[in-house]
Chains A and B, each alone.
Chain A
Amino acid sequence: MAARRTRGMTGGSDLSRATVARATAIAELLRYECSILLELYRKKESFTADVTVTESRLVSVPPPSSQLETRDKLWCLHSALLQCRSFLERAITKEEEQLGGGKKGDYETQRKMVKERLSLLLINTGELLKTAGGVMILTPSSEGLELDGPTILFELKLWVYRIFEEVDYWTKTAITTLQALPSVIAKERARTTRVRSTRSARR
C-alpha cells in the first residue's frame, strides 16, 4: 500500500463533500452502536418490550425541517447532538454515581464508545456548519434541560434509557439530514458562486 504523505489540505468543495460523507458514515456507525447500546441496556436492566418511554423529547431543539436552509438545518442538528452529548455525559455520571463505576463490561465499553462516536459526529457537523457559514455553538445550551435527572432509581434507569433513545433518535435524524445535504451544499455553493460572479461583473 503506497503511503500518501501530504501536509496540504484538499480543496474546499472536496472537503465539504468528504466531510458530509464522513459525517454520514459516522452517524450510521453511531446509530449501529447506539442500537447495540440500547440492546445491552435493555438486557442489563431486563427491560421488556412493554417498557416504553414517553413520547416527549429530552432535547429541546426541534427537528430540522426540510424547509429550513442547510445552515439552519445543520445548526439544529448540531445543537441537538450537543444536547444529546450533554445528556449522555450526565447519564453516565449519574449511573456511575448511583450504580457504581469502574466496571469494564460490554455495556460500559459500548456506552463510552457511543459517547465518543457522538463527539466525532459533532466535530463533523461542526465542520459542516462552519463550512455552511453557520454560527458555531461553543457550549451546549442547557437551558430548560433536565440534566439533573431523577433521584429514584427506577426513574433514573428510565431516564438513562430515554437519553439513549434520544441519542438514537437524533442519530437517525442526523443521517437523514446529512444524506440530504451534499446536493444542497453543491447547489448552494453553485448559487453563491453565481451571485458572487454576477456581483463582480456588475462592479
Chain B
Amino acid sequence: MVCARVLQLLALACLGSALPARVEADYYLMVVPQSPVLEMGTNFTATCVIINTSEVTADDLYWTLAGTTVPKEQYTKINGSALNVTVPITSEKTEWLMCKCKKKTTLFFIHNEGKLIHGIDLKKGYVPGKPENLSCEAVQQKQYISTTFSCEWQTVGSQTATVPTSYTLYTAVLPGSGQPYSVTTQKNRTQVKLGDTFPHYMTLEVWVEAHNKLGKIESEHLKEDSGWFVKTDPPSDVKVFSEKSFPTSLLINWTHLIPTIRLKLTYRIRYRQNGTQNWTPVPLGDTASDIKSFRLQDLQPYQVYEIQVSCKNAKEGHGYWSDWSTIVTKRTPEARPTSKPDLWRVIAEGDGKNERRVQFICKDPVLANGRIVSFDIKIQDPKDKVKNGSLEWKNIPRSSQGKITDLKQIDLADQKSVRVYINATNSVGKSDEASLFILAKARESELAPVEELKVFPHRGQLWLEWKPPNSTKLVSEYVVEWVGGAQIDWQKEKRNTTHTAIKGHLDKFVCYNVSVYPIYSGWIGKPARKEAYLEQGAPLEAPIVRLHKAGRNQATLNWTEISQGSRRGFITNYTIFYTSGTEVHNITVPANTASYTLTSLSGNTKYDTWVKASTIGGSKISFNHSFTTLRYAPGEMEFIVVGVSLGFLFIVVMTMLLCVYKKDVIKENFWPQIPDPGESTIGNWSPDYPLKADTPRENGLSGISVLDMDVCDGKCVFEEDKASLSLKKGKYLSEEHSSGIGGSSCMSSPRQSVSDSDEGGDMADTTASTVQYSSVVPAPPSGYKGQTPNSQPQQALFSRSESTQPLLDCEENPDVLQQEGSRQSQRSPPRPPRFTDGADPAGIAEQQELLEPLDFCPLGEDSEQATPVDGQAADWLPAAAPLSSYMPQLGGYRPQ
C-alpha cells in the first residue's frame, strides 16, 4: 500500500515535467492515469492534479463519473494540489471520469472556467478466459492431405466491445526449431497453413492464446502425431458385384486416392436392405486391415442392398472417420422360395341359398428369394381325398398389379368343407406348399375367437392386443385382417403373439375393420372384430341441420349423419349451437343422436342454429340454419278461445242464475210496485169516455204497456179508443168504475181514465168503500195493438183506479216524483225521450206526469208472459191473473 502510494507520488512528480507544453498552457487540471483499461469488478483510483495555478486548491475539486458526482467519501486528498478518487468498476459501459472545480466568483475562475476541468475515458473489460475444447483437423485434398489446418475451440468468459479478446492459434511442427505457424482471429475457429506439405509422421503441437489489453492466457496444448488430425475423404469408386452362384453374398471393391505410404487407412462398411432404415455394420475387426475389397455374406437372395464405406487413419486412435461414401445399391441373385406363400380367403354371400362364395387370395412368400411368376393351386374336398387322392394342380400367374393375387373363386355350400393347397414358383424353383381349410358354416362357431381384442393407434401404427381364445384346441397361428374401403390385406402372426402392429400400409382418416382370426392347424376360427383409425381428423363434411318442428318455446332439430368416407374418425359428439343474435348457446349431445329439441326458446324469435360434429382429431361446423319460433304455442290459442268462451258462458250463466234467484230484488229495483189500477176501487169517474173493451184484461200487465208507449201511441190510443169504445161502451160502462178522485195529480188531465181490468172492477166492487186511486196505464204498443182488431194506434188509457191502496208519493208529492223520475231517467239512458215530442207545454207537463209512474212499471217477464195471450185475453185472463207480479202487491195493499 505504501509502495503504491510512493509510486503514485513519483508519477505525480514526473507528471509536471512530462506533461506536454500545450496541456500546461491549456489546462489547470490533469487526471492520471490517462486512458486506463480497467478490469470489471475491480476498484480504480485516479488522481486529479492542479497545475500551473495556485488559485485553485484540492478542496475546490470534485469528481463526476458518467455525469454523476462521486460522493466525497471516495475522495482522498493527497496534498493541496492533488485529489484522489476511487471508483468501483461495475458497468461495462465506457464512462467519463471528470475532475472539476467548484464554481467560484473569483475573476480567475470566471476567466478560466473552461480550463478547470479534465477527464479520462474508462475502458472496461474482462481478463480473457482460457479457451477450451480445442480440436483441429486436416482434410484430404486429392491424393494429399491439405496443409490447411483447421481448428476450433470454445471461448470462455466475457468480453466487451472496448476491450475485445483476440485468439491466436499456434501450430508447431515437432521436432523442429522453427517458429510455430500462427494466425490471429476474433472468432472461435480459424485455419493455419502448415508450409508446402503436410508434415506426415511429424508431431504437431497446437494451442490457442486468448489475449486482450488486460492479459493473455493459453489453452491446453494439443500435442499429437500429425496423422491424429487427419480426416480423409471416403473411399472413392465403391463398386458392388453379385455372383449368380452366391445368392446370399455381394462383393465390394473400392479405391482410395491417398497412397498407403502417406497414410495407412482402415475401413468400415455398413449395409441395409433397400427401403429399411437401420444399417447393419460389418464388425470393425473384419475390415481393420488395409483392404480394398470385402465380401458381404448371409444376405437375403433377390434383395436390393445399400452399401456404404468409410475410412480413417489406420493407426489406432488416430484420425477422424471420413464421411460415408455415396450409397451403392445392388440386388442379390435369385434363389428358390424358402417360405410358403401367404394364403387367405374372402367369404361372401353366394348367389344360391345356403351357399358361400369363397375367394382364395394369396401373397408372395416372405422369403420369395426372387420374383414369383406363378402359383399352383389345388382345392380338395376332404371327403374326396379318400376317393381321389391326387387332384390336378392349376397354375395361376401372379398378379402383375399389387402384392395380392386372386387365385380362384368358388361357390361352396354352407355344409361343405374344402382344403386348399398352393405353392409359389420363381425362376429358380418352387416353394413349399401352404394350405388352408374352409369349414362348413355351421362348424365355424366351434372354433372360439380371440378375446378382449383391442385396436389402437400408436406412433403411426395400428396396434392390436388380444387374449388367446378360451379353447381346448391349440392355436397354430393368427391372421390379422384389415379391410378399409374396398381394400383388404392381412398378416400372419405366431401362435404366442398377443399384440402386434399392422405392418401393411394404412391410410390416415380411413376406418379399418380389423379382424383377428385364430388358426387351428389350418382351420380358421371365428374372428374378433374392431373398427379403428390410424389417425383421426376433422370430418370432411358437416351434418346438414334442419328444423323438424318448431313451437313457441322449443324447436326440434334434425341433422343428417355424415357419410362413412367423410367422417375421418369416430364421431365423439355433436354440439348444437343456437343464437337469437346476442348470446350463443351450445349443447353437446352424444354421437348417436341425430335429433334434439331445443327448449327455453323465446316465442316469435328468429334463431340461427348450426351443428358441430367432432372427432378426437377435430370438428366440422355445419351451415347455419335459421328458424323462427311460433308466436303462440300449439293449443294456446284454442285454450284462450275456450277459456274466454267459458268465462263468458260462466258470466251469462251467473247472470241468469242471479236473475233467477234474485229476481225479486231485481224486480223490486227495476220494476217497483205500482198500484194496480185494476185493483183500484175507483170507479169510472169519466163516463163520457167509452172504455176499452179489453181493459179488464190488462190487470197486472198495464205497467208494461206504459213503458213502451210513446206520445204518439198515446194519442193514437185515444183515437182508437174513441172508435172502439163505442163498440164496447155498454160493457165497460156497466162494469168499470172510475176512481172519482179528480184531485189526483195524475188525473189532472181531462182525459178519460180507463180501468185496467175486469177483475179490478170486481175487486173494486168488493172494496167500494176504499179510497179510489187513479192510474195512468198506457197500453203497450204491441201488446195492446194485438188486442185491437185493427192496427190503429192505441190511445193511452186513463182510467180511474178504484184501488183501495193509498196513493203513491208521486201522486201526493209530485215534486218528489219528479226527482225520482229524473234519477230513473239517468239510470236508463237508452230510453228515448218520447214524451218530449209533445207540442204544447201542457201536454208535456201532462206527459211528464205520466212519465213518473212509468218508471216503476214492471216490464219484461210479465209483459212477455202477457204477450202470447193477447188474442185470448178475455178467456185467458182469469187464469193468468194469479201469475201477475202485481198480485202480491194487491194482497199487500189490501190491509191498507
Contacts and interface: CB of A to CB of B under 8 A. Distances in A.
Contacts of B259: 32
A203 interface: no
Given A113-B196, A117-B197, A120-B199, A3 B135 contact: yes
Interface in A1-42: 1-7, 19, 22, 25-26, 28-29, 32
A112 interface: yes
A115 B259 CA distance: 19
A96 interface: no
B197 A116 contact: yes
A123 interface: yes
Interface string A106-117: 000100110111
A148 B261 CA distance: 34
Given A7-B221, A123-B176, A26 B320 contact: no
B235 to A, nearest CB: 20
A26 B200 contact: yes
A4 B196 CA distance: 26
Given A22-B201, A25-B201, A127-B175, A32 B261 contact: yes
A25 B200 contact: yes
A25 B221 CA distance: 25
A81 to B, nearest CB: 15
Main secondary structure of the interface of B (DSSP, over half): loop
Given A1-B317, A123-B176, A127-B175, A116 B221 contact: no
A6 B175 contact: no
A123 B135 contact: no
Contacts of B292: none
Interface in B195-238: 195-197, 199-202, 220-224, 228
B677 interface: no
Contacts of B134: 3
B201 to A, nearest CB: 4
- Chain A's interface size range is 20 to 34
Contacts of B228: 1
A83 interface: no
A19 B228 CA distance: 17
Contact of B196 (A5, A22, A116, A124): A116
Contacts of B201: 22, 25-26, 29
A113 B195 CA distance: 9
A120 B178 CA distance: 11
A32 B175 CA distance: 22
B295 interface: no
B262 interface: yes
B195 A32 contact: no
A53 B201 CA distance: 32
A19 B317 CA distance: 19
Contacts of A32: 259, 261-262
B319 interface: yes
A174 to B, nearest CB: 14
A2 B224 CA distance: 11
A123 B222 CA distance: 21
Contacts of B221: 5-7
A3 B197 contact: no
B317 A120 contact: no
A127 B176 CA distance: 9
A112 B223 contact: no
Contacts of B222: 3, 5
Given A22-B201, A116-B197, A123-B175, A7 B223 contact: yes
B171 to A, nearest CB: 14
Given A22-B202, A120-B202, A5 B223 contact: yes
Interface in B1-40: none
A113 B197 contact: yes
* Among B173, B175, B199, B222: residue with most chain A CB under 10 A: B175
A5 B135 CA distance: 11
Nearest to B135: A3
Contacts of B220: 5, 7
Contacts, number: 55
Interface string A123-161: 110010000000000000000000000000000000000
B686 to A, nearest CB: 162
Contacts of B224: 3-4
Contact of B195 (A28, A116, A127): A116
A18 to B, nearest CB: 9
Nearest to A15: B175
A29 B319 CA distance: 19
Contacts of A28: 261
Interface string B249-266: 000000000010110000
A6 B224 CA distance: 9
Contacts of A124: 175
Interface string B288-331: 00000000000000000000000000000111100000000000
A28 B200 CA distance: 11
A115 B224 CA distance: 24
Contacts of A117: 197
Contacts of B175: 19, 123-124, 127
Contacts of B202: 22, 26, 120, 123
Contacts of A7: 220-221, 223
Nearest to B221: A7
Nearest to B229: A1
Interface string B159-200: 000000000000001011000000000000000000111011
Nearest to B136: A3
B141 to A, nearest CB: 11
* Among A2, A4, A120: residue with most chain B CB under 10 A: A120
* Among B176, B318, B320: residue with most chain A CB under 10 A: B176
Given A5-B222, A120-B199, A29 B135 contact: no
Nearest to A6: B223
A117 B196 CA distance: 9
Nearest to B133: A3
B792 to A, nearest CB: 151
A18 B456 CA distance: 66
B139 to A, nearest CB: 15
Contacts of A6: 221, 223
Contacts of A109: 196
Contacts of A120: 173, 199, 202
Contacts of A3: 134-135, 222, 224
A28 B201 CA distance: 11
A29 B262 contact: yes
B209 to A, nearest CB: 14
Contact of A112 (B173, B197, B199): B197
B197 to A, nearest CB: 4
Given A7-B223, A25-B201, A120-B199, A1 B320 contact: yes
Nearest to B175: A127
B395 to A, nearest CB: 61
A184 B319 CA distance: 32
A3 B206 CA distance: 12
Contact of A2 (B176, B262, B317): B317
A127 B222 CA distance: 22
B135 A112 contact: no
Interface in A52-71: none
A59 B233 CA distance: 40
Contacts of B176: 123
8 contacts: A1-B319, A6-B223, A25-B200, A25-B201, A29-B262, A112-B196, A116-B196, A117-B197
Given A6-B221, A120-B202, 13 more contacts: A1-B317, A3-B224, A4-B223, A5-B220, A5-B223, A7-B221, A26-B201, A29-B201, A29-B261, A32-B262, A112-B197, A113-B196, A120-B199
Interface of A: 1-7, 19, 22, 25-26, 28-29, 32, 109, 112-113, 115-117, 120, 123-124, 127
Interface of B: 134-135, 173, 175-176, 195-197, 199-202, 220-224, 228, 259, 261-262, 317-320
* 8 interchain residue pairs of minimum CB distance: A25-B201, A113-B197, A5-B220, A112-B196, A116-B197, A32-B261, A22-B201, A116-B196
